[in-house]
Amino acid sequence: MPAVEAPSGSSPSKSTPTFSPQDVTVLFVLGGPGAGKGTQCANLVRDHGFTHLSAGDLLRAEQDRPGSQFGDLIRNCIRNGEIVPMEVTVRLLENAMDEAITRRQSNTNNNNSSSGDRKSRFLIDGFPRKMDQALRFEEAVCPARLVLFYDCPEAEMERRLLERGKTSGRADDNADSIRKRFRTFVDTSMPVVEYYEAQGRAVRVDATPGPDAVYEDTRAKLASRLGEDF
Ligand code: UDP
Ligand code: MG
């Protein structure tokens, strides 16, 4: 099946989300490029059993998928630090959620494991970066419970990205793309963070210290919002 294809029963203009927040918990994870979203998501997956979906990783996989009609579009957007049209990204996320939920159900059925006792819980990393994505995802896919926002000064993010660029192989970890990504983050993505903060749905974490300290702070803040045994 192509990666960009609707799960059966969904259509772009529907008014009911595909997944109910009663069955599925979604946390959006935001922060500038290099703020440490991916690192902290990996910690939360290890200790708390979330499923991690990185919008950027899904886009890069779609870009490289033979036969994708979106490859060139995605490649250009990523290099220029621009946001890929939301239809593509929302659909990739919805499909990935659908697959993870189906996989979990069949594991539960096959091994009698207890994973079915808890709801499916997703960390959606690097999304939504633009208001239209936020509104569309919550309306059509699933309302989000919280937004984890990793707050980091630009100078520190730049240092981390240039360091990562030595080995990441990412087409956008170079000085020119980094500058464009910062610009998009300030102009387009910060309004999304502010929208959720105004609704009391954002959890702000200072991402300047080292990864362990940031993780401790993340856990403490999530525990106070979601309950100690989140
Ligand atoms: N991107 C996008 N829409 C999204 C998420 C990512 O268009 O919802 C594109 C955008 O060009 C971004 C790039 O993918 O600059 C890399 O995203 P990623 O999340 O991997 O970057 P990071 O936050 O790790 O720097
Ligand atoms: Mg990332």
CA atoms of 44 and 121, how far apart (whole Å): 11
CA 119 to chain centre: 18
**Binding residue per annotation — 60?**
yes
Please give the pLDDT value at position 15: 74
pLDDT per residue, tens digit, the chain (230 aa), is 456 755 554 455 567 999 999 999 999 999 999 999 999 999 999 999 999 999 999 999 999 999 999 999 999 999 999 999 999 999 999 999 999 999 988 887 777 655 556 789 999 999 999 999 999 999 999 999 999 999 999 999 999 999 999 999 999 999 999 999 999 999 999 999 999 999 999 999 999 999 999 999 999 999 999 999 99
CA atoms of 146 and 204, how far apart (whole Å): 11
Which residue's CA lies nearest to atom 14 of ligand 1?
56
Please give the pLDDT value at position 9: 47
Nearest atom (ligand 1) to Cα of 82: 11
Q: Quick one: which of 127, 193, 144 has its CA closest to 25? A: 144
Radius of gyration of the chain (CA): 17
Please give the pLDDT value at position 115: 53
**Binding residue per annotation — 71?**
no
In testing the pocket of ligand 1, which one of 79, 83, 190 has its CB within 8 Å of the most ligand atoms?
83
Q: How far is the CA of 37 from the centre of ligand 2 (A)?
A: 6
**Binding residue per annotation — 126?**
yes
Please give the pLDDT value at position 145: 98
Question: 3-state DSSP call for residue 124?
Answer: strand
Please state whether beta strands 202-206 and 146-151 pair in parallel, antiparallel, or not at all (unpaired): parallel
Helices (H), the chain: 37-48, 55-64, 71-79, 86-111, 131-140, 154-168, 175-184, 190-198, 211-226
Nearest atom (ligand 1) to Cα of 181: 15
Please give the pLDDT value at position 224: 97
Please give the pLDDT value at position 222: 98
Residue 119 near residue 23 (C-beta atoms within 8 A): yes
Please give the pLDDT value at position 6: 52
**Binding residue per annotation — 87?**
no
* 42 to 48, 82, 83, 89: CA distances (angstroms): 10, 25, 24, 21
Nearest atom (ligand 1) to Cα of 31: 23
